[in-house]
Amino acid sequence: MEMYSGHINKLIEELAALPGIGNKSAQRLAFHMIHMPKEKVNRLAKVMMEARENVRYCQECYTLTDRDICPVCSNQKRNHNLIMVVENSRDLAAYEKTGKFEGVYHVLHGAISPMLGIGPGDIKLKELVARLEGDVEEVIIATNSSLEGETTAMYISKLIKPVGVKVTRIASGVPVGGDLEYIDEVTLLRALEGRVEI
């Protein structure tokens, strides 16, 4: 049964189709937009269209940007001999928020997942290998600790090692505030292996 008129239902339906937005959130957003001043709605629609039309891949690291070369890759103060490989642009943003990584990135736009039909040719691996022809000293693999992320990390490691570039994997372990009894064995093992002297 439809609770609202056609236009409201269409708006809720479109918003609910966005990732991470459930039906209740879609309703809240829809009613918020309906009550927004018309010029704000027009500005939001314009910004969304401009982003869709102008955002593309960086020609070096393949993150999303509205320039040919993203701000990280174009920064000459960054260490271009150190590349961190991440699964998506959100992961890149998470590392950038730390303010501690001084190298550059390579965004794969996915992870190898045979169950989903995603193979090595479906992510930006050949572009990564092409970047290694420069003066790259180390590749840090920072894929997720999921089965797909681990599979991708192993594949990249086997792909790069013959080139002679140092390959490392980020340590992963116990989250702050996490109780050890509730953490899986793989995470605990990675935490142990990635330990540092204090």
Transcribe 81-116 into DSSP letters.
Answer: EEEEEESSHHHHHHHHHHT---EEEEE-SS--BGGG
Q: Is the pLDDT of residue 68 over 90?
A: yes
For residues 108 and 152, the answer to whether their CB atoms sit within 8 Å is yes
Per residue in 128-145, pLDDT (tens digit) is 999 998 899 999 999 988
pLDDT confidence tier of residue 1, bands split at 50, 70 and 90: very low
Would the pLDDT of 179 be above 60? yes
Query: Does residue 197 come out as left (phi exceeding 0), alpha (psi in the -120 to 50 range) or beta?
Result: beta
Residue 62 above 60 pLDDT?
A: yes
pLDDT category at 119 given cuts 50, 70, 90 is very high
What is the pLDDT, as a whole number, of residue 40?
Answer: 96
pLDDT at 190 over 60: yes
pLDDT(182) > 80: no
* CA dihedral sign, ordered 71, 73, 79, 83: positive
Domain 76-171 falls in which CATH fold?
Answer: Dna Topoisomerase Vi A Subunit; Chain: A, domain 2 (3.40.1360)
pTM: 0.80
Mean pLDDT (the chain, rounded)? 89
